[in-house]
Amino acid sequence: MFPKIAQLGRTVLDQMQAAQVDALNRGLAEAEAEAIGLQTFERALNEASVEAIRSFEKDSIAYAEQTRHETRSFENRLYDRWRVPLDRYLALVGLGVDFLQRIDNANGQDAAERQDHIFYALVGICARACRVSHAVHHLLCGGFPLDALSRARTIHELAVAALLISDSANDADNRDLAERFRLHGHISAYGDALVYQENATFLGYEPFSEEEVERMREKREELLTRFGRSYKHDYGWASKLLAKDRPTFRDLEERAELSRLRGYYRWSSQEVHSGPRSLHFNSIDFRGREVRLVNRTNHHLADPAQIALIALMQCLSALLTYSAIDPQELLYMTTMSHYVDETCNSFAVVQQQIDLEEEELLRSREGRN
């Protein structure tokens, strides 16, 4: 892709080796020849660096144009293959957005007057779930299913919170769960501010004033006094609900009755984090050989799409369960439920077809050999 830079690197090594050989031929000791070689290497590397930078600046334009062309060609081929489920996925997200806007328009003003934390927590969760669902679709169309998987994980996390908050409406002891959830951002805001203060000057940003940091600290302390010291933990907003000082996300999943999806959550977490297990998932078996993914693939779009759609449906269903129900809203969800199942199956069918074609290709090759 950048042959000039590779060529310059070989030239640097050639000059170093030539200088060493010349020094040895002139009768110099081996240590002196190595020193001369090193000096030559440093000088040649500095000269080559200047030329390499110029070369990259010139070649990068052609590389970018070629890559854009290859990307468009790849995306067109991928879309031809996955057109039906990808289009249906996008339409389902659009249906979800339309449903969300109807609910918000119909109930938002009344919810504001009642200071209805449950409604606004659920609307906020569903809005973010819709946005992330669009991001998943974009990544799938681009050929990045593992990255889509990591974003699908986010929608699953949102679904867990949505289901717990919706259920809390009928729980007299935990009706304040949504308020705890919404206010919990102040807890992390103070911790984030302290980290920001440590590095702001070095990074060229303006630090918060002492007054601003103090206001954040006071807000945090006010909430801890109100909700208890366990509120300071990552999922402290659910401590009272779960009767646990330091709940984990797994605890939340179990309470929301979504622990059956735990395996998918752990799998997607590998793509979010940088552990050694993630390297395994970044390699695929392609026609009998291991390939490390450094770019796009048209395989394995089904799982992230299915996880994202199901989680989005769960978020919107939680809002529907809590909000006032009319026939139009029920029809939105009935339609969405039907086509989520159909679309998930459609993704699976395309992946199965790809797998069958690959198996046939391998058998054909083996037969020729």
Last residue of a domain, one of 16, 38, 60: 60
**Do 17 and 163 lie in a common domain?**
no
At 284, phi and psi to the nearest 5? -125, 155
pLDDT at residue 247 in the model: 95
**Type of residue found at 78:** L
Dihedral sign for Cα atoms in the order 232, 237, 241, 244: negative
**Do 72 and 43 lie in a common domain?**
no
pLDDT at residue 261 in the model: 87
In which domain, by residue range, is 317 found?
61-368
Task: Tell me how far apart the alpha carbons of residues 258 and 198 are, in angstroms, rounded to a whole number.
Answer: 39
**Do 180 and 311 lie in a common domain?**
yes
**Do 160 and 29 lie in a common domain?**
no
**Do 21 and 119 lie in a common domain?**
no
Asked if 312 contacts 155 with a C-beta cutoff of 8 angstroms, the reply is: yes
pLDDT at residue 330 in the model: 81
142: Cβ contacts below 8 Å, ≥ 6 apart: 71, 75, 296
**Do 309 and 361 lie in a common domain?**
yes
127: Cβ contacts below 8 Å, ≥ 6 apart: 100
The burial of 126, by beta-carbon neighbours within 10 Å (0-12 exposed, 13-18 middle, 19 or more buried), is given as buried
Task: Tell me how far apart the alpha carbons of residues 47 and 50 are, in angstroms, rounded to a whole number.
Answer: 6
Bridge partners of residue 283, in order along the sequence: 292
pLDDT tens digit at each of 369 positions of the chain: 788 888 888 898 899 999 898 888 888 888 888 898 899 989 988 998 998 888 888 888 888 999 999 999 999 999 999 999 999 999 999 999 999 999 999 888 888 889 999 999 999 999 999 999 999 999 999 999 999 999 999 999 999 999 999 999 999 999 999 999 999 999 999 999 999 999 999 999 999 999 999 999 999 999 999 999 999 999 999 999 999 999 999 999 999 999 998 888 888 888 888 777 777 677 777 666 677 777 888 889 999 999 999 999 999 999 998 986 677 778 888 888 889 999 999 999 999 998 888 888 777 776 666
Nearest to 286 by CA among 364, 355, 348: 355
Look up tokens 């892709």; give the residue.
1
**Do 19 and 109 lie in a common domain?**
no
**Do 18 and 89 lie in a common domain?**
no
Dihedral sign for Cα atoms in the order 181, 183, 185, 188: negative
Extract the tokens encoding 23. 């020094």
- What string of H, E and C letters represents the secondary structure of the chain? CCHHHHHHHHHHHHHHHHHHHHHHHCCCCHHHHHHHHHHHHHHHHHHHHHHHHHHHHHHHHHHHHHHHHHHHHHHHHHHHHHHHHHHHHHHHHHHHHHHHHHHHHHHHHHHHHHCCHHHHHHHHHHHHHHHHHHHHHHHHHHCCHHHHHHHHHHHHHHHHHHHHHHHHHHCHHHCCHHHHHHHCHHHHHHHHHHHHHHHHHHHCCCCCCHHHHHHHHHHHHHHHHHHCHHHHCCCHHHHHHHCCCCCCHHHHHHHCCCHHHHHHHHHHHHHHCCCHHHHHHCEEEECCEEEECCCCCCCCCHHHHHHHHHHHHHHHHHHHHHCCCCHHHHHHHHHHHHHHHHHHHHHHHHHHHHHHHHHHHHHHHHHHC
How many domains does the chain contain in total? 2
**Do 10 and 73 lie in a common domain?**
no
pLDDT at residue 369 in the model: 61
Asked if 59 contacts 2 with a C-beta cutoff of 8 angstroms, the reply is: yes
Last residue of a domain, one of 19, 39, 60: 60
**Do 20 and 75 lie in a common domain?**
no
pLDDT at residue 280 in the model: 67
Give the burial string for 210-227 (b: 16+ CB within 10 Å, else e): eeebeebeeebeebeeeb
**Do 105 and 241 lie in a common domain?**
yes
Task: Tell me how far apart the alpha carbons of residues 345 and 336 are, in angstroms, rounded to a whole number.
Answer: 14
Task: Tell me how far apart the alpha carbons of residues 210 and 214 are, in angstroms, rounded to a whole number.
Answer: 6
pLDDT at residue 291 in the model: 74
- What string of H, E and C letters represents the secondary structure of 325-357? CCHHHHHHHHHHHHHHHHHHHHHHHHHHHHHHH
Asked if 246 contacts 230 with a C-beta cutoff of 8 angstroms, the reply is: yes
**Do 104 and 55 lie in a common domain?**
no
